[in-house]
Amino acid sequence: KMLRYYETKSISQKYQKYRPHYPVQLAKDALGSLREKKIDFLLDVGCGGGQSVNIFAPYFHEVLAIDPSENQLKEARSQNKFAHVTYKQGIAEKLPCDNVSVDVITSGTSAHWFDRPKFYEEADRVLKPGGRLVIFGYWSPKIVPLCVSDGDVTRLSGVGTQLLKNTFNKLIFHERHSHVRDKYNQIFGEIPLLNKRRFDNLSTDYTWSLVDAKGMIQSVDSYETYMKSKELELKELSEVKRSARLSELDPSEQFARSLKLFVIVAEKLN
């Protein structure tokens, strides 16, 4: 069944502010030769705050982006810069489109929450012959501090990466997050469309601070549940910070974060 997370107002606001934005190259690679002329219709499923819509919208005449969360949609609408993009409440298991009417379906880091067999059926129903299903996500394995001595780079990048990983492992409870760690390999195998491929060579680097890191952690839906159910292991965290001398860093200290993307492109046969 479909699982619904990331729907509260506070989560939606943090999601919009602190979640990474996808690189434009993702859309270029996923669409390929289709970009030679404007494409008629894009449907983005599980759009959240519109992060993936923004990179695909320039290549289409019309875009419909759906999400079950009205709070997420409010954030997306407030940031919308495209007159031809419409945000609407909807679910992956019942796509609000006519049969054989969609050129491309996109879904960014959300397919693992869907009732996927139903989603695949719906995608097959609404896609035109030759239409594309593009499913993608990201994983961030490395954090590198900036403006520190060469001797501290390796030490702090290892500690920072492990600290963030440990924090997410404590916050992320649901088994479906394993699909993200798996880089959607299982999802790739189960997609019924026969003409499919994937590429994992895309990455993008960007800067963030300890404040940004905290904001991203707080944008995880289970963070609120975790904070309500038990106190964070502050003693353990303090010990890690002390041994790694993280306390010496200013909260606004800038880090470089390497974002690794995985992209699946499947085509409906004519």
Segment 16-40, tens digit of pLDDT? 555 667 899 999 999 999 999 999 9
Which residue's structure tokens are 């996923």? 30
Which residue's structure tokens are 């394993």? 178
More confident residue, 177 or 233: 177
Q: Output the CA torsion sign for 162, 163, 167, 168.
A: negative
| Average confidence (pLDDT) over 43-53 | 93
- Per-chain mean pLDDT for the chain: 77
| Average confidence (pLDDT) over 146-174 | 52
Contact of 138 with 109, CB cutoff 8 Å: yes
- The most confident of the ranges 195-199, 204-208, 246-250, 266-270 is 195-199
| Average confidence (pLDDT) over 162-180 | 59
pTM over 0.85: no
Q: Give the start-end residues of each E strand in the chain.
A: 39-45, 60-67, 85-89, 102-108, 127-145, 195-199, 203-209, 254-267
| Structural domains present in the chain | 9-267 (3.40.50.150)
